[in-house]
Amino acid sequence: MNMAKYNGWTNYDTWNVALWIGNDEGLYSMARTYRHNSHPYQAFIECLKECSEGSPIAYETPDHVSWTDSSLDIAELDAMIGEL
Spell out, as residue ranges, where the chain has pLDDT lower than 70: 1-4
| Among candidate residues 71, 12, 84, 77, the one with its CA nearest the CA of residue 41 | 77
What are the domain boundaries of the chain?
A: 12-82
Amino acid at 56: P
CB 16 within 8 A of CB 65: yes
Note the pTM of the prediction, 2 decimals. 0.90
CB 61 within 8 A of CB 67: yes
Q: Which residues pair with 60 in a beta bridge?
A: 66
Q: Which residues contact 16 (CB under 8 A, 6 or more apart)?
A: 61, 63, 65
**Distance between CA atoms of residues 8 and 15, nearest Å:** 8
pLDDT in tens, 5-19: 899 999 999 999 999
